[in-house]
Structure 1
Amino acid sequence: MEAQGLLLERMLLTIFPLVAIVTVGFFYARRHSPDMNAANQINIDVFVPALIFSVLSAESFDLLKYQSLAIGAAVIVIGSGLLLFPLCKLLKVDPKTFIPPMMFSNSGNLGIPLIVLAFGEHALQAAVVLFLVENLLHFTVGIYILDHKTRLLNLLRMPMILATILGLIWSGFDLTMPKALHTSIDMLGQISIPLMLFSLGVRMTSVSFEHWRIGALAALLCPASGIIIALIAQQFLQLNTTQFAYLLVFSALPPAVLNYMVAERYNQEPQQVASIVLLGNIGSLIVIPATLAVVW
């Protein structure tokens, strides 16, 4: 009984801060209808790159330590798409609409803060690695799914990719940085996580339940496919208990809000994607605690 009480307390301490910040963003947006475009752009161009560089350039960061974890994340992303692709014909839904949200999860807005709160600050490096893998695949494979003419070289212009390359170079050559500069970059990076959550809450006000049936089904299939692929991948990767816990949480994350933004940009049935994203994130209020109960 005492163990169950401790588990519930830990669950509350992990989930409540995330839900609270998203809720604040949601109700603030309902009342004031803020335009988050500029804030989101700054987050993508400045704060998230600062977080990535801060983590990757740290003296304690060891890329080889997370090599298998990164492979596992890539297998989950691609494997989920391949596993669910045959269902598109059965569900009578366009694969370009359905498959990207099933592949690309909320590893930034939700994944990073969730893993850090669930496992501690020492898990931040692993959370960033998982986010980088998912994000890189989203802006390569994901964009290619929607537009086969896309130029992948444009990736090199993205601040997050540049921050990743620079951070790995900094860590690889064991370069030093003035403490004042490192503190400044670290402080900029710390802005990104709460802003991601707040922005998620704001974004939730703009999506609808119009296509609730496919959204409800996706809310089950997205984490289910990810967890199935993670369990299969573990048979080959043989991750240690801690890293496998990170991977399982990553595999159970709901669809990324970015899927809706990308679908809107490419005019790929954005309202249907919006319902998938919304119901998937609502469903995560059940899926995520259940997953944490298993991995703890």
Structure 2
Amino acid sequence: MLTDLWPIIASVLGVFLVIGIGAMCRQLGVLNSEADVSLAKLTAKVLLPSLFADRILHGEQMQQFSTLWFPPVFGFSFTAVSFLIVWALAKRFGRYVGLDTDAKQRTFALCAGICNYGYIPLPLAVRFYPDAVVELILHNVGVDMALWSVGIAVIGGATSWQRAVLTPPVIAVVTTSLIRWCGVDQMIPASFHSAISMLGACSIPMGLMLSGAIIVDYLRETHWKDSGLVVAAAIGIRQILLPVLMLGVATLLGMCSPLMTPDLKLVVMLEAAMPAAVFPIVIVRLYERDTSTALRVVLSTSMAGILLVPLWLGIAKWFLGL
């Protein structure tokens, strides 16, 4: 078992090492905060859409177009329900663990309710489960839409459906899926394929380094005194309760529906193992909620993820029969 998991453990450590390099670049002044906005926009609006387009244009799974609606629906539904579950728990029990204000409870719900659905699972899927990459991308479209609709409603009390739907990654997925479905992808010049492949290859390293830089910035503002209960709650919900729930839902769906394909089970395996996503810290800051709570959730689950991600991957692989 350990022998089978060791390459995955090494890859997970490699991902966190790139995050650490981003943090070190911030500390040394190589990656200045003034560049964050432009680099984040470049990643979100050019590099990630290029990665998605490249994987879809070269993915064999697109031959079964009629079933490709299910991964984004699953991603949206589970993420939306996760937000609501964590928010309900924070409202009911938050005062016992230090979440004693509405701002802290909303922040906790947003950050603990969504896993790191892109920058960590994508490189793992590319290396170890290439057949599941397209399903992962489609699943993440649903997660992204849940973040910008239900997630925004949780943190700010409002929704932004237009922002959830009209994003460059979603547009890239829909456009390239239609191109594959219509069978005109063979007409695309090889030079275009080469260009989007090179751009896509930059997306994950850039996103990971930016994540590390953002963590360093907010780490300076956070006080960790008396945060043990919040940290324990974050790890317990994000990395125990929600993975168990996700694996249970996937198992039930697999028993009653052919739409829960082996590739989608691999996606569930990867997503269930993930710590909290980093980007919600930025959203929390934007809506003027509790940044310290956000960082406690994200950093604690990320540190725990060094051990828990490989462990959950092994458990999920056995549990789902993969």
**TM-score, with length taken from structure 1:** 0.88
Q: Give the distance between the partners of 1:112 and 1:257, measured in 2 at CA.
A: 15
Which of 117, 122, 134 does residue 112 from structure 1 map onto? 122
Q: 1:28 to 1:252 in 2, by over 3 A?
A: same
Residue 14 in structure 1 maps to residue 11 in structure 2: yes
Specify whether residues 97 and 41 from structure 1 end up closer, same or farther in structure 2 by C-alpha distance, changes over 3 A only.
Answer: same
Cα deviation code 1:62-117 (max 9, x no counterpart):
24455444444334313323333332131223332111112222111212113323
Q: What's the CA shift for 1:265?
A: 0.5
In the alignment, which residue of structure 2 is the partner of 1:229? 245
Stretch of structure 1 that moved more, 95-104 or 257-266:
95-104
Aligned to 2:207: 196
| 1:34 match | 32
Deviates more, 1:169-178 or 1:150-159: 150-159
| Structure 1 CA distance for aligned equivalents of residues 181 and 263 of structure 2 | 24
The answer (yes or no) to whether the contact 2:132–2:264 under 8 Å persists in 1 is no
Amino acid at match of 1:233: V
**Runs of 4+ deviating beyond 6 Å:** none
Q: Is the 8 A contact 1:216 1:280 kept in 2?
A: no
> Is the 8 Å Cα contact of residues 226 and 252 (structure 1) preserved in structure 2?
no
Kept in 1, the 8 Å contact 2:83–2:114? The answer is no
Distance (whole Å) between structure 2 residues aligned to residue 242 and residue 166 of structure 1: 22
Counterpart secondary structure, 2:223 = coil
Q: Which amino acid aligns with 1:123?
A: A
Q: CA deviation at 1:162?
A: 1.8
By how many angstroms is 1:8 displaced?
4.8
**What amino acid maps onto 2:249 in structure 1?**
A
Structure-2 separation of matches of 1:39 and 1:14: 25
Per the TM alignment, residue 44 of structure 1 is displaced from its structure 2 partner at its CA by 0.7
Residue 267 of structure 1 aligns to a residue whose secondary structure is coil
CA distance in 2, matches of 1:158, 1:75: 19
Q: Which deviates more from structure 2 when the two are superposed, residues 27-36 or residues 41-50?
A: 27-36
Distance in 2 of aligned mates of 1:261 and 1:164: 24
Residue 244 of structure 1: aligned partner: 265
Where does residue 138 of structure 1 map in the other structure? 147
Equivalent position amino acid for 1:286 in 2: L
Partner of 2:195: 184
Once residues 11 and 150 of structure 1 are traced to their aligned partners in structure 2, the CA distance between those partners, rounded to angstroms, is: 37
Aligned-pair distance for 1:19? 2.2
CA distance in 1, matches of 2:4, 2:59: 33
Q: Unaligned regions of 5+ residues in structure 2, if any? A: 255-259
What is the CA–CA distance in structure 1 between the aligned matches of 2:210 and 2:59, rounded to whole Å? 31
Report the Cα distance in structure 1 between the residues aligned to 2:236 and 2:311, rounded to whole angstroms: 13
Secondary structure at the residue paired with 2:58? coil
**Is the partner of 1:98 in helix, strand or coil?**
helix
How far apart in 1 are the matches of 2:293 and 2:264? Answer: 34
What are structure 1's unaligned runs of at least 5 residues? none
Cα distance in 2 for partners of 1:87, 1:156 equals 28
Structure 2 counterpart of 1:210, one-letter code = H
1:253-280 CA-partner distances (Å, limit 9, x unpaired): 1111111000100111122112211111
Q: CA RMSD in A?
A: 2.3
Kindly indicate whether the alpha-carbon contact (under 8 Å) linking 1:126 and 1:246 is maintained by their aligned counterparts in 2.
yes
Q: Secondary structure at the match of 2:218?
A: coil
Distance 1:21 1:151 in 2: 32
> What is the match of residue 147 of structure 1?
156
**1:156 shift after superposition:** 4.7
Q: For residues 1-296 of structure 1, what are the structure 2 equivalents within 5 Å?
A: 4=2, 6-32=3-29, 34-35=32-33, 36-58=36-58, 60-62=60-62, 63-88=65-90, 89-92=92-95, 93=99, 94=102, 95-117=105-127, 119-176=128-185, 177-208=188-219, 210-211=223-224, 212-213=227-228, 214-238=230-254, 239-294=260-315, 295=317
Instruction: Report if aligned partners of 1:22, 1:201 keep a CA contact under 8 Å in 2.
Output: yes
CA distance in 2, matches of 1:10, 1:149: 43
Percent identity (aligned): 17
Are the counterparts in 2 of residues 26 and 205 from structure 1 also a CA contact under 8 Å? yes
Taking structure 2 as the reference length, what is the TM-score of the superposition? 0.82
Given that residues 210 and 275 in structure 1 are in contact (C-alpha distance below 8 angstroms), is that contact kept between their aligned partners in structure 2? Answer: no
| 1:59 CA drift (Å) | 5.8
1:257 partner SS:
coil
Q: CA–CA distance in 2 between the matches of 1:70 and 1:163?
A: 14
